Structure 1
Amino acid sequence: MKIEWAPKNVPIERRRQVFAMAFFIISFMLLSLGSYFLTAAFLIYGGLYLRTLTIIYLVYVFVDHRRTHSIMDGNGLKIFRNNWLFRHYRDYFPVQLVKTAELPPNKNYIMASFPHGILGTGISTNMGLDISKWLELFPQVRPKVATLDQNFLTPIVRGLLKSWGLVSVSKEALVYLLTKSNDPKHKDNRDGFTSNAVAILVGGAQEALDSHPGQYILTLRNRKGFVKMAIRTGSSIVPTFSFGEVDILDQVANPPHSKVRHFQDFVKKLTGISPLVPVGRGIFNYSFGFLPNRRRIVQVVGSPIDVIKSDKPDPAYVDKIHNQVIEALEKMFVQYKDKYIPNAKNTKLVIH
């Protein structure tokens, strides 16, 4: 394989963006794995004092998660969600945010987000790592991103996830956030924000398995839990679509019914996580590596779909709202694909 090396005369700004991307991905990879090894090392090789502190910390993590679902109220410290590193991370692709309708801050929202891609970069950037654009377009609406519940039981990493506004996708955590008061005078809204918008990557791990450049394959037909949650909490559903999300990384070929896919499905069934093998670029070359490719990602935020609140959602009503979400996504794709997708004529939206 011929290696395409990055030129020496790359502008300094682009070098900073590559540095920010590499630093973020390497750091997070090391922390995710290193936290377990470090904890195990403390328990096995640490003295009595260190072992005791480690056990106390692990008990605290478990108890705190059971008690609070590891939710951080408010937007947290701005330095964790709006800083030099994450601005360069955004500009690396770049990641953009497009507003098509108002989100009044007098209600809470479920952001039904598609596609998942490999990393879920669009919503993770706009609603987690660098929320400056979001707050500019949707003032008084707190952005939150829902992820797997077990991530908040990971030592050390859970603190970072909380600081970026990530929350558990568990039923308890979602109900807590989506039933928050919208009254400006309520004590929870002293920060000036009166609404919570929780982004859910509805397609999840299954949709990630189908992520390949140029292929927009959504897992949605049988995913109705988010609609039921919206009805139970009275939250509006906002369809959002991140154009370009599937183009930043490829993965090892895994067509349906292949041995690779069977193995991935097996691991996903056991853990809830898809064991993907991403294929991207390197720090100094464009041919292979673990960094995402520079491809523009545009997250388009659609119009809210209001629902009638009910503690016991009627199946027929759930189907009605679910169909509205599908229709909104199909309409959004047709309306914006020519503007945001290269070779849009050959690109189709497939919804499973």
Structure 2
Amino acid sequence: MWVQFAPLRLPLRRRVQTAAVLQWVFSFLALAQCCLVLFLLLLLGDGWVLAVLYAAWLYLDWDTPAQGGRRSSWVRSWTIWGHFRDYFPIKLVKTAELDPARNYLFGFHPHGVLVAGAFGNFCTEATGFSELFPGLCPHLLMLPFWFKVPFFRDYIMSGGLVSSDKASASYILSRPEGGQVAVIAVGGSPESLEARPGALTLQLLSRKGFIKMALQHGAALVPVFSFGENELFNQVSNPQGSFIRTVQEHFQKAMGLALPLFHARGVFQYSFGLLPFRRPIQTVVGPPILVPKTPHPSREAIDDLHRDYLEKLNQLFEENKAKYGLPEDSHLHLI
């Protein structure tokens, strides 16, 4: 295999963009492990006092990830996120006004491998979320496991990440003052196993928990489709029934985490590595579906709203696919 090296002379801005994405990939794949090791080194070494004090703080702060988190406007506005945005680039597209007096549940599709679009748009201000949707406060839901890791939990909360358990989503969507947005990658980690260039497979047909949650709190449902999300990485072939897919699914059921075997490019060459390709991501936020508050929704009500949501999501995709480079004969595949 021939290795395609990056040109020696590249504009500094492109080098900085690559560095910004490199630190993001590191944060996603290895920062939690590094934080855990740091905590253990402090605990077993001369810094044990700091470790004990942090452990006490962790005990007192344990429920924060399920109670709206602890976002930092300063962290969300770091200059590095602008370079991260420009690497792909990422763009947030608004199609309708959203009343800040309401609470919203954004269904984000597709999950992709590392949900780059969801992070860039909803965990930073790089794409101007607060300017496009004034009065709204986004919270991206993430697996509860990660909020148990010392230090790492505080960092991810600063960007607006919160636990994805039911209590966390309920806390956000029940705020009486409104203006809260729970962003859920509906397909979850299993959908990441379908993420590869050209893929339009969404795990949605049996996923109705978010529909029930919206009904219970009367939160407006908003379909969000991120064009380009699946174009960022290649993935080792893992068709249903294959040995690789079977192992991945068993691991996902046991640990709650998927292990997509992905690859793309490196820092100084374009042939292999874990950095995403430079592919544009256009995240389109659709019009809201107003939902009546129904504390105890019937199965029929859930099914009806789920059907309506699928129709609106498909309509959003069909209306925008040509605009963002997809052929007319491309369609969503729902499983």
- Match of 1:267? 251
Alpha-carbon distance in 2 for matches of 1:314, 1:67: 31
The normalised TM-score by structure 1 is: 0.90
1:135-190 CA-to-partner distances (Å, cap 9, x unmatched) read 111001111111111111111110111100011111111111111122xxxxxxxx
Seen in structure 2, the aligned counterparts of structure 1 residues 115 and 132 have a Cα distance that, compared at 3 Å, is closer
Q: How far is 1:132 from its partner?
A: 5.0
Alpha-carbon distance in 2 for matches of 1:238, 1:27: 29
CA contact (8 A) 1:131 1:143 kept: no
Partner of 2:260, secondary structure, is coil
CA contact (8 A) 2:226 2:282 kept: yes
Residue correspondence of structure 1 range 15-34 to structure 2 within 5 A: 15-34=15-34
Percent of paired sites with the same residue: 36
CA contact (8 A) 2:193 2:258 kept: yes
Amino acid in structure 2 at the alignment position of 1:146: L
- Match of 1:93? 88
Alpha-carbon distance in 1 for matches of 2:27, 2:203: 30
Residue correspondence of structure 1 range 1-352 to structure 2 within 5 A: 1-43=1-43, 45-47=44-46, 50-51=47-48, 53-66=50-63, 69=66, 71-72=68-69, 76-130=71-125, 133-182=128-177, 194-342=178-326, 344-345=327-328, 347-352=330-335
CA contact (8 A) 1:128 1:164 kept: yes
Alpha-carbon distance in 2 for matches of 1:312, 1:137: 34
Partner of 1:300, secondary structure, is strand
CA contact (8 A) 2:223 2:287 kept: yes
Amino acid in structure 2 at the alignment position of 1:214: G
Amino acid in structure 2 at the alignment position of 1:138: F
CA contact (8 A) 1:70 1:152 kept: no
Partner of 1:338, secondary structure, is coil
Alpha-carbon distance in 2 for matches of 1:249, 1:126: 19
Q: CA RMSD in A?
A: 1.7
Amino acid in structure 2 at the alignment position of 1:349: L
CA contact (8 A) 1:142 1:197 kept: yes
Q: How far is 1:348 from its partner?
A: 2.9
Amino acid in structure 1 at the alignment position of 2:66: H
Alpha-carbon distance in 2 for matches of 1:236, 1:27: 32
Amino acid in structure 2 at the alignment position of 1:84: T
Q: How far is 1:36 from its partner?
A: 1.9
Q: How far is 1:123 from its partner?
A: 1.6
- Runs (5+) with no aligned partner, structure 2: none
Seen in structure 2, the aligned counterparts of structure 1 residues 67 and 16 have a Cα distance that, compared at 3 Å, is closer
Structure that is richer in helix per residue: 1
Seen in structure 2, the aligned counterparts of structure 1 residues 27 and 268 have a Cα distance that, compared at 3 Å, is closer
Alpha-carbon distance in 2 for matches of 1:317, 1:11: 55
Q: How far is 1:62 from its partner?
A: 4.3
Seen in structure 2, the aligned counterparts of structure 1 residues 106 and 71 have a Cα distance that, compared at 3 Å, is closer
Q: How far is 1:130 from its partner?
A: 2.8
Equivalent pairs counted in the alignment come to 335
